[in-house]
Amino acid sequence: MGSREEILARLRSAAVPARELPEARRFGERSADLRARFAQSLTDAGGRCVPLPSAEALPAALEQLAPYRDGRRIASLVPGVPRANVRVDEIADPHDLRDVDLAIVPGELGVAENGAVWFTDRGLRHRVLPWIAQHLALVVHAERLVNDMHEAYERIELGNGFGCFISGPSKTADIEQALVIGAHGPRSATVFLIG
Protein backbone atom coordinates (compact mmCIF):
# COMPACT_ATOMS: atom_id res chain seq x y z
CA MET A 1 0.00 0.00 0.00
CA GLY A 2 1.35 3.42 -0.93
CA SER A 3 1.64 6.26 1.56
CA ARG A 4 -1.42 8.00 0.19
CA GLU A 5 -3.66 4.98 0.67
CA GLU A 6 -2.14 4.19 4.03
CA ILE A 7 -2.67 7.70 5.39
CA LEU A 8 -6.24 7.84 4.10
CA ALA A 9 -6.94 4.41 5.59
CA ARG A 10 -5.49 5.46 8.95
CA LEU A 11 -7.61 8.61 8.95
CA ARG A 12 -10.71 6.61 8.08
CA SER A 13 -10.01 3.97 10.68
CA ALA A 14 -9.85 6.71 13.33
CA ALA A 15 -13.65 6.51 12.97
CA VAL A 16 -14.37 10.02 14.14
CA PRO A 17 -18.10 10.40 14.85
CA ALA A 18 -19.86 12.56 12.25
CA ARG A 19 -20.03 16.25 13.09
CA GLU A 20 -22.22 18.57 11.10
CA LEU A 21 -20.67 21.34 9.02
CA PRO A 22 -22.18 24.60 10.30
CA GLU A 23 -23.81 26.75 7.69
CA ALA A 24 -21.51 29.46 6.37
CA ARG A 25 -22.71 32.83 7.59
CA ARG A 26 -21.40 36.26 8.30
CA PHE A 27 -20.96 37.58 11.80
CA GLY A 28 -20.75 41.10 13.15
CA GLU A 29 -22.11 44.49 12.26
CA ARG A 30 -22.09 46.43 9.02
CA SER A 31 -20.29 49.71 9.00
CA ALA A 32 -22.10 52.93 8.10
CA ASP A 33 -19.01 54.48 6.53
CA LEU A 34 -16.93 51.90 4.71
CA ARG A 35 -14.48 54.45 3.32
CA ALA A 36 -13.59 55.84 6.72
CA ARG A 37 -13.30 52.42 8.29
CA PHE A 38 -11.12 51.14 5.47
CA ALA A 39 -8.82 54.18 5.71
CA GLN A 40 -8.48 53.77 9.48
CA SER A 41 -7.77 50.04 9.25
CA LEU A 42 -5.15 50.63 6.57
CA THR A 43 -3.48 53.28 8.71
CA ASP A 44 -3.42 50.80 11.62
CA ALA A 45 -1.73 48.32 9.30
CA GLY A 46 1.01 50.84 8.47
CA GLY A 47 -0.39 51.82 5.08
CA ARG A 48 -1.96 55.00 3.76
CA CYS A 49 -5.29 55.60 2.06
CA VAL A 50 -5.66 58.41 -0.48
CA PRO A 51 -9.26 59.05 -1.59
CA LEU A 52 -9.65 60.30 -5.16
CA PRO A 53 -12.81 61.62 -6.80
CA SER A 54 -12.12 59.73 -10.05
CA ALA A 55 -9.52 57.70 -11.92
CA GLU A 56 -8.48 60.84 -13.83
CA ALA A 57 -7.10 62.25 -10.60
CA LEU A 58 -4.57 59.41 -10.24
CA PRO A 59 -1.57 60.87 -12.15
CA ALA A 60 -1.69 64.09 -10.15
CA ALA A 61 -2.06 62.18 -6.90
CA LEU A 62 0.88 59.96 -7.80
CA GLU A 63 3.06 63.06 -8.18
CA GLN A 64 2.56 63.59 -4.45
CA LEU A 65 4.01 60.16 -3.77
CA ALA A 66 7.79 60.23 -3.17
CA PRO A 67 8.59 56.78 -4.68
CA TYR A 68 6.76 57.87 -7.84
CA ARG A 69 8.32 61.31 -8.00
CA ASP A 70 11.84 60.12 -7.23
CA GLY A 71 11.73 56.51 -8.48
CA ARG A 72 13.70 55.53 -11.54
CA ARG A 73 11.88 52.32 -12.43
CA ILE A 74 8.12 52.31 -12.20
CA ALA A 75 5.96 49.36 -13.18
CA SER A 76 2.24 49.95 -13.55
CA LEU A 77 -0.50 47.45 -14.26
CA VAL A 78 -2.95 50.34 -14.11
CA PRO A 79 -3.34 52.14 -17.45
CA GLY A 80 -2.77 55.88 -17.78
CA VAL A 81 0.26 56.27 -15.53
CA PRO A 82 2.55 58.71 -17.37
CA ARG A 83 5.86 57.79 -15.75
CA ALA A 84 5.47 54.01 -15.93
CA ASN A 85 8.57 52.73 -17.72
CA VAL A 86 8.78 49.02 -16.89
CA ARG A 87 6.70 46.78 -19.11
CA VAL A 88 6.20 43.79 -16.86
CA ASP A 89 4.84 41.56 -19.62
CA GLU A 90 7.86 42.08 -21.79
CA ILE A 91 10.23 40.90 -19.09
CA ALA A 92 10.98 37.20 -19.31
CA ASP A 93 12.70 36.63 -15.98
CA PRO A 94 11.06 38.02 -12.82
CA HIS A 95 14.52 38.53 -11.31
CA ASP A 96 14.87 41.44 -13.73
CA LEU A 97 12.21 43.24 -11.70
CA ARG A 98 14.67 43.50 -8.80
CA ASP A 99 15.29 47.22 -9.19
CA VAL A 100 11.66 48.32 -9.56
CA ASP A 101 11.15 51.27 -7.25
CA LEU A 102 7.39 51.40 -7.36
CA ALA A 103 4.73 48.94 -8.50
CA ILE A 104 1.23 50.24 -9.17
CA VAL A 105 -1.34 47.48 -9.29
CA PRO A 106 -5.13 47.30 -9.40
CA GLY A 107 -7.01 45.82 -6.48
CA GLU A 108 -10.29 44.01 -7.05
CA LEU A 109 -11.74 44.60 -3.61
CA GLY A 110 -11.05 46.41 -0.34
CA VAL A 111 -11.90 45.11 3.14
CA ALA A 112 -12.95 47.79 5.62
CA GLU A 113 -12.26 45.80 8.81
CA ASN A 114 -8.56 45.30 8.08
CA GLY A 115 -7.49 47.54 5.22
CA ALA A 116 -6.73 44.58 2.98
CA VAL A 117 -6.93 44.78 -0.80
CA TRP A 118 -7.54 41.68 -2.93
CA PHE A 119 -4.88 41.40 -5.59
CA THR A 120 -4.75 38.66 -8.24
CA ASP A 121 -2.33 37.65 -10.97
CA ARG A 122 -5.05 37.36 -13.61
CA GLY A 123 -3.40 38.31 -16.89
CA LEU A 124 -0.13 39.03 -15.09
CA ARG A 125 3.07 37.26 -16.01
CA HIS A 126 4.98 37.85 -12.78
CA ARG A 127 2.96 37.50 -9.60
CA VAL A 128 5.97 38.50 -7.52
CA LEU A 129 5.70 42.13 -8.65
CA PRO A 130 4.08 43.60 -5.48
CA TRP A 131 6.80 42.01 -3.31
CA ILE A 132 9.91 42.61 -5.33
CA ALA A 133 9.18 46.32 -5.77
CA GLN A 134 10.55 48.67 -3.10
CA HIS A 135 7.20 50.46 -2.78
CA LEU A 136 3.64 49.52 -3.63
CA ALA A 137 0.57 51.45 -4.70
CA LEU A 138 -2.83 49.82 -5.10
CA VAL A 139 -5.81 51.29 -6.89
CA VAL A 140 -9.28 50.28 -5.71
CA HIS A 141 -12.74 51.57 -6.51
CA ALA A 142 -14.71 52.62 -3.47
CA GLU A 143 -17.80 50.75 -4.61
CA ARG A 144 -15.69 47.61 -4.29
CA LEU A 145 -15.34 48.03 -0.52
CA VAL A 146 -16.84 45.36 1.72
CA ASN A 147 -17.25 45.23 5.47
CA ASP A 148 -15.25 42.20 6.44
CA MET A 149 -13.64 38.94 5.39
CA HIS A 150 -16.99 37.14 5.31
CA GLU A 151 -18.23 39.52 2.61
CA ALA A 152 -14.88 39.42 0.87
CA TYR A 153 -15.08 35.66 0.38
CA GLU A 154 -18.61 36.01 -0.96
CA ARG A 155 -17.30 38.29 -3.70
CA ILE A 156 -13.93 36.95 -4.74
CA GLU A 157 -13.45 34.11 -7.15
CA LEU A 158 -10.84 31.53 -6.23
CA GLY A 159 -9.18 29.11 -8.58
CA ASN A 160 -6.52 28.88 -11.22
CA GLY A 161 -3.87 31.32 -10.19
CA PHE A 162 -2.79 33.48 -7.37
CA GLY A 163 -4.66 35.89 -5.13
CA CYS A 164 -3.60 37.76 -2.03
CA PHE A 165 -5.15 40.01 0.57
CA ILE A 166 -2.56 42.77 0.93
CA SER A 167 -2.93 44.81 4.09
CA GLY A 168 -0.33 47.54 4.31
CA PRO A 169 3.42 47.31 3.75
CA SER A 170 5.73 44.45 4.62
CA LYS A 171 6.49 44.48 8.34
CA THR A 172 8.12 42.60 11.17
CA ALA A 173 8.36 42.80 14.92
CA ASP A 174 10.81 39.95 15.34
CA ILE A 175 13.46 42.01 17.14
CA GLU A 176 12.18 42.73 20.64
CA GLN A 177 8.73 43.28 19.15
CA ALA A 178 9.67 46.68 17.80
CA LEU A 179 7.49 47.21 14.73
CA VAL A 180 9.66 47.80 11.66
CA ILE A 181 8.10 48.59 8.28
CA GLY A 182 9.77 47.14 5.20
CA ALA A 183 10.93 43.66 6.11
CA HIS A 184 11.35 41.93 2.73
CA GLY A 185 8.59 43.31 0.58
CA PRO A 186 7.41 46.86 -0.06
CA ARG A 187 8.58 49.57 2.30
CA SER A 188 5.33 51.46 1.87
CA ALA A 189 1.82 50.68 0.70
CA THR A 190 -0.52 53.40 -0.55
CA VAL A 191 -4.07 52.66 -1.58
CA PHE A 192 -5.74 55.09 -3.96
CA LEU A 193 -9.44 54.79 -3.30
CA ILE A 194 -11.43 55.98 -6.27
CA GLY A 195 -14.95 57.39 -6.07
By CB under 8 A, residue 36 contacts other proteins: no
- CB under 8 A: which stretch of 57-65, 76-84, 110-118, 137-145 binds other proteins? 110-118
Considering only 33, 72, 122, 162, the residue that binds other proteins (CB under 8 A) is: 162
Run of H or E including 62: helix 58-63
By CB under 8 A, residue 126 contacts other proteins: yes
Min dist CB 36 to other proteins, Å, is 15
By CB under 8 A, residue 18 contacts other proteins: yes
By CB under 8 A, residue 33 contacts other proteins: no
Segment 88-107, which members bind other proteins (CB under 8 A)?
94-95, 98
CA-wise closest residue to 104 among 86, 91, 122: 86
By CB under 8 A, residue 154 contacts other proteins: yes
Determine the 3-state secondary structure of 141 from DSSP: strand
Q: What are phi and psi of 87, to 5 degrees?
A: -95, 100
Considering only 108, 131, 144, 195, the residue that binds other proteins (CB under 8 A) is: 131
Segment 41-70, which members bind other proteins (CB under 8 A)?
41, 44-46
CB 190 within 8 A of CB 52: no
CA dist list (Å): 59 to 47, 65, 137, 186: 19, 10, 12, 21
Q: How many of the chain's residues bind other proteins (CB under 8 A)?
A: 80
Q: What whole-number distance in Å separates Cα of residue 48 and Cα of residue 40?
A: 9
